[in-house]
Structure 1
Amino acid sequence: MPMSFNQSVIDEFRANGGKVGGPFEGGDLLLLTTTGARSGRAHTVPLGYVREEGELVVVASAGVAPDHPQWYRNLLAHPVVRVELGAEAFDAIAVPAEGARREQLFAAVARVAPGYGDYQARTERELPVVVLERPEMPVREVRSLADKLLEVHTWLRAQLRYVREEAQRHVAGQRAGLGLQLRQHCLAFCEGLTHHHRGEDAAIFPALAHSHPELADALDALSEQHRTIGRIKDELVALLAGIEVEEPERLRAEVDRLAVELEAHLAYEEAELLPMLAGIPFPPMR
């Protein structure tokens, strides 16, 4: 699909609350924004979708092209994506389905949109079926920077809990190989953790050091914890890039090691910083 056509559809979608004309008129359409696997830049594409079992499902068809579309390669490198659906926008974790689940979802998609079945019949590659998982977050009113910090910590804890449980299933022999479900959630957790800590190191900690010099020792300790957690996280990401079927125990050990450090860090940060952050409005007032 030519980029100029893509952009016209994107512009029309955003200007009309998700409604477009032309070949997509009346169809189920969303905008998917991925992060470039190599460039790191945001890339947005319009995609048809199907709802199945309460999930948003898209197919990386690219017509009958011999290679997967770039947006699919992007989400394998960076699983956290941005979804625009109607007038709503939210972050999701993109997880390609595997095995029997992939076959089940593809059959459901092909019943709604038979064109995908035609595409599959005309190409030798298996068309990836991707579930856009919207992480469940408790409804919390965010009025201060303390509220925002707790929101981020809640997301990190939930993702870490999921990854630990899934890694345990692998070790127990309930999963064969690493699995894209575990890999994507693990990478999403690592990306979220990196983004959060970089934001604290670059903005929040320096601002607090300036306004609350009595926090100097605590901020130094938190920064050192960031470095320790960062090293473990980088080792985990490297492991995910080359994990073999026979290594689930090593994966679980790395996840557990990260969990111990991170849980202690989050608890310490909340104890030390929440009282100060509670007085700072969020979003910041101009």
Structure 2
Amino acid sequence: MSRKHILVTGSTGQLGRSLQMIAGQYPEFEFHFFNRSRLDLATPGVVHACLEDHAFDYLINCAAYTAVDRAETEPELAEQINHHAVAALAEAARKKGTCLIHISTDYVFDGCHYKPYAEDHPTAPINQYGQTKLHGEQAIQRSGVDACIVRTSWVYSEFGNNFVKTMLRLGQERERLTVINDQVGTPTYAGDLATAIMALVRRRESQPVESGCKVFHYSNEGVCSWYDFALEIFDMQPLQCRVDPIDTVNYPTPARRPYYSVLNKNAFRDYTGVDVPHWKHSLNICLSRLKDAAKNG
């Protein structure tokens, strides 16, 4: 029996690299990883030209413009990558009759709900990044492609730049840090998110599904502030760095952030039957892997 083909965009990002790490656990699929040099979503018109000659059964879009603050001054570039290129990916997948799995964000919400957001909660982004990601979602829904949109939050990993690696670096350089204490959400380990995506793929392979666009929320379990997150990082490491809480109003940034962005994951659990790990458990795994990588040079 021939293997199904999975094409992954954004292969050098946190999620793309995490998918590469676990690809060997899915021998029934053949993965094709596209980095920016092979498929640059920032360049208009390249999607159809690049994908026209490639056969694939699933298209997992891990590529995105994620520089939240910079998006305030680069809205056109953010719109190109997070909206127009996504619309082109959806159209390419629709023409081939394949499934698009697209990663979106908690930032499509305004953060004023203060109970875990369900998939059907009204969207109301408060910054350019969230707005462009919402436009990408809407383009997928309008396209008629068979798709899964997966909203996630606070992604970190062993790869690239992220909050965990920044805290580890600053904790070694400084004796004291201030970290935001009034923005609440859930850290998501990219390794868990990659596994969750493959659970969606296997679920669709094993059971017939209705065509159309489904929206899921996935993050790790639990709730914390950025301050709580930093304390846990330093406690697990451990690092002798004092962490003080600070309110958002005293730490202005170009882009506004949601005060509350916890995601309700019941629909994902019901659909896949997958248990969702607690963020502290996954943070410990990530820190252990970072430690091993440092030892091995």
User: The TM-score by the shorter chain falls in which range?
Assistant: 0.3 to 0.5
If the length of structure 2 is used for normalisation, what is the TM-score? 0.32
If the length of structure 1 is used for normalisation, what is the TM-score? 0.33
> Which structure has the greater CA radius of gyration?
1
Bigger relative contact order (CA 8 A; separation at least 6): 2
